[in-house]
Structure 1
């Protein structure tokens, strides 16, 4: 029963994180082209603030439930299949990319916006896009590997 709860929380965390990145990169960003640059930057800031807050909660839940499942269900790394090892590796990479994003370009973007420096905000915003896109790729690979390995592939 507890294992099912951990697994459900793990999957929900992954859906929120990866789904949010899909929305941000493939839906929101192209749609923002109808706005003027200052409005685009303001909307980016508001959306990313909410999304990054969500990830600050989803990421630890994902990592914690992943470890609880790894050691409670599989008996540790030795008992886990190749897909679990790959998920573990990509999860750590994704967490590192996210931490890099929020402590670097996100902080720079917000500081530039607070100063009213639109040109200065554009550079970190582009870096945010690149890092979110990188994490989206890692997230999609992780989901595909999880699904593939789950059924003995």
Structure 2
């Protein structure tokens, strides 16, 4: 059971952090080749699909992390420093995602539905900054997980 939980935990993290890395490092710099209306249409489709993936991956990562914490490590007392850091950064990442989903992503969709391209563009900029923040948190989390896994 522990192997299944660990595999699901890692797969969810790879989808979440990898998707953010793609968005920040590949997609965002490439959007300059498109005109603003095309850029917003593409971003709307990308965000809709990616945020749906994260909507499922984020709880899976948190739930499998807690299951591993309490089943594998026997609770917080038995966990190493890296598990405590992963717990903190994972909760922070979940909070940032929820801030995106219920803040600028909701605003962007409403602005696009109302024909407000400028407002949608401003919301997309806020999403980009929050995704970059979450990517930084995710990379720290992955580094801590890898470092601490081998007793460092």
2:50 and 2:30 mapped to 1: Cα distance?
Answer: 17
* Matched residue, 1:62: 61
* Matched residue, 1:4: 3
2:120 and 2:47 mapped to 1: Cα distance?
Answer: 14
Are 2:56 and 1:50 equivalent residues in the alignment? no
1:112 and 1:75 mapped to 2: Cα distance?
Answer: 48
* Matched residue, 2:131: 132
TM-align CA RMSD: 0.5
* Matched residue, 1:103: 102
Residue 14 of structure 1, CA deviation: 0.4
Q: CA-to-partner distance for each residue in 1:67-98, whole Å, 9 max, x for gaps?
A: 01000000000000000000000000000000
1:118 and 1:56 mapped to 2: Cα distance?
Answer: 26
2:87 and 2:62 mapped to 1: Cα distance?
Answer: 9
Match runs of 1:1-153 below 5 Å: 2-153=1-152
User: TM-score, normalised to structure 1's length?
Assistant: 0.98
1:29 and 1:131 mapped to 2: Cα distance?
Answer: 13
Which sections of structure 1, spanning at least 5 residues, go unmatched? none
Residue 120 of structure 1, CA deviation: 1.1
1:117 and 1:64 mapped to 2: Cα distance?
Answer: 38
Instruction: Give the number of equivalent residue pairs.
Output: 152
2:84 and 2:150 mapped to 1: Cα distance?
Answer: 15
User: TM-score, normalised to structure 2's length?
Assistant: 0.99
Q: Hey, which bits of structure 1, 4+ residues long, moved more than 4 A?
A: none
